Chain A
Amino acid sequence: MAMTKKIPDTIKGANTFCPGCGHGVVVRLIAEALEELGHADDAICAVAVGCSCLVNVALGIDKIGCPHGRASACAAGIKRVRPGNLVFSYQGDGDSLSIGLAETVYSAQRNEKFTQIIVNNGVFGMTGGQASPCTLIGQKTTTTVDGRSVNMSGVPLDIMKMFGQIESVAYLARGSVHDAQNILNTKRYIKKAFEAQMAGAGFSCVEILSPCPTNWHMEPVDSMERIAGVVSAYYPIGEIVTGGGLNA
């Protein structure tokens, strides 16, 4: 059987992320998931501020540019008035877990029935690599020049642990884009989250570990190895909640 190369028609063309950035892979996975689930035409994305906003030029579906940290609140508002549409937020860890932590946690707590996509690269990328809530202990950034310390900044924030305490959550998974197997698994997680949403099961979230060679000051391949090593050691990859929410 001949092999065909197929690109979802929601991919608008070349994206504008940095070389070696994981966002482009995540956007492609979302596009494939939407196409395979038959939701490319009814999908609406609440776009965060930061590198995430470059999804505006990458993904050809309906999108809204939200205030910094508020994409999950916007997504909740959209889903509440258009429950038949597939609604997701697309956010970085700075947007969703620093300035937007209240909106993030309460979207899950209030069982808002959209899907939150969190791309976790452990830094504020767009502003030049400042520490984020997910910067690892010892990691050097422009605001932790000697490396993040527990004494000064506490431990990195684990949103899956926070969400995991909320019994009504429908689906939770942490994926990664550092190798082929994890990329395939992450696509499966995204599809399962979308399916849980469209079944009306409740809040769903996929956090995705993603490299930022530019602000990690590493080569792209070394960045992938960093995720395979210290990053995924702190942030374990896999499904956390399946079949939860109103399906449980």
Chain B
Amino acid sequence: MKQLMKGNHALAEAAIRAGCRFFAGYPITPQSEILEYFSWRMPEAGGSFAQTSSEIEGINQVLGAAAAGQRAITSSSGPGFTLKQEGISYMQSLEVPAVIVDVMRYGIGLGDIFYGQGDYFQATKGGGHGGYLLPVYAPSSVQENADLVALAFDTAEKYRSPVIVLSDAAIGQMCGSVELPEMKEFDIDRFEWALKGRDRHYPQGRTLTDRMYYDFGYDEYDKHERDRYDAMKENEQLWEEVQAEDAEVILVSYGISSRICKEAVKAARAEGLRLGLIRAITVWPFPTKAFQKYNGKASAYMTVEMSQMGQMAEDAFIAAHCQTPVYSMPTGRDVADSEDIIANVKDILAGRKEAF
């Protein structure tokens, strides 16, 4: 049954239905509806909710709850997402599965509460210390806010990794129709590795700490981490293509910006311009497999994203493998306009736009 819901609410309800029974977080616009929704819905579903003193305390409560085997989630935006990076790095070193939502807003520092997509680097390049990676889903609709948060829990547990849902203020605040997933419940004791008290598997108790210390030799550990990330890159790439097959220029985008790109593809096609789109659903792993189909065939890729300078453009450049030139159209705090996108594409074709 479809219903009309706000993006942030749909995400929170879908997390509950995906079996999540723990939330800890802190208010920040434009994600506060997630916190508010969980505050009553989580206890109703038999889970636990905490409004913590900071995002740091929130991510670390989630670390504890997830390490004890519970499906656990936290959410934030911009400055608060920064504070969570310490905990995310630890989650990856302990290999604790959990979901972190960043409802992106605009700008560095305090920035502003308007929509933006400036946290791309922080989300996709291991925003905390030490150089780790983790799956990042980028919803572009209310429906995907629900679908991808549920998928994020499955992926997190598949790899014992934290997973980010990289939403934005527009997706979080918009209302749309959504088909919510079925309600699931999970046994908190289902993982042998999770904290529960010593048992026959661990007669001297679990030591769930940086896996480098006790589970691997140093040389083995680096390979173990590489293998994990390689498996994610091989298995988890998700993307949507819109008329990319015969496109002369292929737009590359995600989230709110990709919605406008779809409109631009339609408008361009109406005037005979063969435009297409690769919409990244996972921004890490970046959908390089989509590019492999079109490298050397398409005349150009153009990334469309809301940031001060191109961020996704760098990943597109790497994915294009120097076989197709990449152009960047960063739109700062404005959502792209389809007429501007088409004008930029015409500039590319006329040799008037500088390549990235």
Contact = CB atoms under 8 A, between A and B. Distances in A.
A70 B61 CA distance: 9
A189 to B, nearest CB: 23
Interface string B204-232: 11111110010000000000000000000
A81 B196 CA distance: 10
Interface stretch (B68-76, B250-258, B260-268, B321-329): B68-76
Contact of A61 (B21, B56, B197): B197
A67 B195 CA distance: 17
Contacts of A62: 195-198, 202, 205-206, 208
A196 B67 CA distance: 24
Interface of B: 21-22, 24, 48, 50, 52-54, 56-58, 60-70, 72, 86-87, 90, 94, 188, 195-199, 202-210, 213
Given A64-B209, A67-B86, A73 B198 contact: no
Nearest to B63: A74
A70 B67 contact: no
Contacts, number: 142
Interface string A76-117: 111111100100000000000000001101100110000000
Contact of B57 (A41, A43, A44, A103): A103
A59 interface: yes
5 contacts: A64-B63, A64-B209, A70-B63, A76-B50, A82-B196
B205 A60 contact: yes
B70 A103 contact: no
Contact of B90 (A67, A77, A78): A67
Which of B64, B72, B210 has the most chain A CB atoms closer than 10 A to its own CB?
B64
Contact of B64 (A12, A40, A46, A106): A46
Nearest to A103: B57
A224 interface: no
B86 A81 contact: no
Q: Size band of the A side of the interface? A: 35 or more
Contacts of B206: 62-64
Nearest to B54: A102
A20 B22 CA distance: 42
A42 interface: yes
B205 A81 contact: no
B198 A103 contact: no
Interface string A26-69: 00000000000000111110110000010010011111111100
Contacts of B54: 102
Which of A41, A44, A46, A81 has the most chain B CB atoms closer than 10 A to its own CB?
A81
Which of B21, B90, B199 has the most chain A CB atoms closer than 10 A to its own CB?
B90
Which of A46, A59, A65 has the most chain B CB atoms closer than 10 A to its own CB?
A65
Given A81-B21, A81-B70, A74 B198 contact: no
Given A81-B21, A81-B22, A75 B64 contact: yes
B208 A64 contact: yes
A78 B56 contact: no
A139 interface: no
B94 A64 contact: yes
A229 B69 CA distance: 46
Nearest to B203: A60
A66 B195 contact: no
8 closest Cβ contacts across the A-B interface?
Answer: A77-B64, A65-B209, A73-B60, A74-B64, A77-B61, A60-B204, A70-B60, A77-B65
Contacts of A15: none
Nearest to B199: A41
Nearest to A86: B197
